[in-house]
Amino acid sequence: MRKINVSNFTLATRTTGREINRQILLNLVREHQPISRADLARRMEVGRPRVTALVNELMAEGVLCEGEAVESPRGRRPRMLHVRTRDRLVVAADVRFARTWLMLSDFSGQQIALETFDTLLDPAALTAELASRIERILRTYGQGGTCEGIGIAVPGMVDHLTGRILNAPQLGWKDVEIRAALAEATGLPVQIENAPIACALSKMWLGQREGDTGDFVYVTVSEGVGAGVVVNGQVMRGHGHSAGEFGHVPINPDGPRCLCGATGCWEAHTSNLATLSRYLGRELSPTETRALLAETPLTVTDLIMRARTGDEKARDALLTTGRYLGVGLAMIVNSINPSRIFVGGEVTAAWDLIGPGVRAEIETRALTASAAATPVIPEQGVGYPRLRGACALVAAPTFAAPTVA
């Protein structure tokens, strides 16, 4: 049961029911496209005229479009419905410490163009660089379409209402505002979100047919470690917009120092930086870690290749990371009890090596048999999940349920 917040509510109106039905129909099209009006009527258990009226509204607004007519066992050939995506464009950015990726996609997250550049850690300089590149990528590849907005995934805590970046330890940013400046420079709406939350939104909204996505956690393992938590179909954000920061929960108070300044964080044991420093045999301070990330040509992908070609030190570093990853995932299983956990990041390419250790830690530490069996799904071979998440920041509001009460 959900309690009504009598201090912050939206009253239902005479059109609320129709708005909800529109969104139900739109999401049925998104999930099952191409789909006919007759099939929609059957799934919604309403008459064809009611479905036709809703479809006509959504087509007039440019949200749905018709495809070709298909053969039918009886009657007229139905024209199949699709969510209109191809000429609706989104610019997505994934900002990390060393590199920033920029992608132009259609409204479904399908890549049109991709580029990458060295991240400028000064917020004003990065904003100017993004604005220049966005203008150029749209001019070069965006002809014939309309850009509906810019989505940016960042490695840190974000107030999603204002877009203010509250704390991004990897970037060295605290209380940073770039959304308004980028919107002014580009003339486009801008949405900014914590990277793992963006990835979770991608799982919810960009068409993956993975079964129920009402309760799950998306864990990102890269330069940092974070989690996007979804409960009852809603992202958990917390009172101060910092929910899901499991990467900064200590799992060993005497462990290595984390980029956030604390010691023993899950991130300090599990991130790409932790894996690299373990392989190099060095425990690094946050300053040294940033320098290593900026200067070393060695990557986790390189370590995986070395492990597969007989480098036992690389293999041991990865296996240790896998065990620590399992410790943290067990913490999530016991505290949230999600239906499944997705894991994204470069280390998932070594899941055949680290997966057994991850599962062993979860099974050892989980408090019930069902919790111990929680599916953990590596996002292996999935192209740029953070960029797809940034796309979802722009696309998701189109499909979200109306807010009532």
Q: Which domains does the chain have, with CATH numbers?
A: 16-83 (1.10.10.10), 88-202+387-398 (3.30.420.40), 208-380 (3.30.420.40)
**φ and ψ at residue 343, rounded to 5 degrees:** -125, 125
The confidence score (pLDDT) of residue 238 equals 79
Residue with tokens 């301070």: 285
Residue 72 has pLDDT above 90, yes or no: no
Quote the mean pLDDT of the chain. Answer: 88
Residue 343 has pLDDT above 80, yes or no: yes
Question: 200-203, long-range: CB within 8 Å, 24+ apart, which pairs?
Answer: 200/228, 200/229, 200/230, 200/235, 200/389, 201/228, 201/235, 201/389, 201/392, 201/393, 201/396, 202/109, 202/385, 202/388, 202/389, 202/391, 202/392, 203/230, 203/342
Residue 4 has pLDDT above 80, yes or no: no
Residue 305 has pLDDT above 90, yes or no: yes
Residue 330 has pLDDT above 90, yes or no: yes
138 or 71, higher pLDDT: 138
* SS3 (DSSP) at 137: helix
| Residue range 108-148, pLDDT digits in tens | 888 999 999 999 999 999 999 999 999 999 999 988 889 99
The confidence score (pLDDT) of residue 273 equals 87
Per the CB < 8 A criterion, the answer to whether 344 and 379 are in contact is yes
% of residues, the chain, pLDDT over 70 = 91
CA angle 216, 239, 235 (to 5 degrees): 20
The confidence score (pLDDT) of residue 207 equals 55
The confidence score (pLDDT) of residue 380 equals 74
Pull the structure tokens for residue 333. Answer: 């299983």
| Residue range 231-273, pLDDT digits in tens | 888 888 878 777 788 989 999 888 888 888 888 999 999 999 8
The confidence score (pLDDT) of residue 108 equals 86
Nearest to 404 by CA among 47, 59, 38, 15: 15
Nearest to 64 by CA among 44, 105, 35: 35
- Give me the mean pLDDT over the 54-60 stretch: 92
The confidence score (pLDDT) of residue 242 equals 77
How many of the other CB atoms lie within 10 Å of CB of 283?
Answer: 14
The confidence score (pLDDT) of residue 404 equals 63
Residue 213 has pLDDT above 70, yes or no: no
pTM to 2 decimal places = 0.88
Residue 152 and residue 136: Cα distance in Å, rounded?
17
Residues 6+ apart with CB under 8 A from 194: 153, 154, 155, 156, 157, 158, 226, 228, 244
The confidence score (pLDDT) of residue 284 equals 61
| Residue range 73-106, pLDDT digits in tens | 666 677 889 988 888 999 999 999 889 999 999 9
Residue 300 has pLDDT above 60, yes or no: yes
Residue 210 has pLDDT above 80, yes or no: no
- Give me the mean pLDDT over the 203-230 stretch: 80
Nearest to 342 by CA among 376, 388, 389, 380: 376
Half-sphere exposure of 21 (CA within 13 A, CB side): 19
The confidence score (pLDDT) of residue 294 equals 64
H-helix or E-strand spanning residue 179: helix 179-186
The confidence score (pLDDT) of residue 89 equals 94
Residue 111, Ramachandran bin (φ over 0: left; ψ between -120 and 50: alpha; else beta)? beta
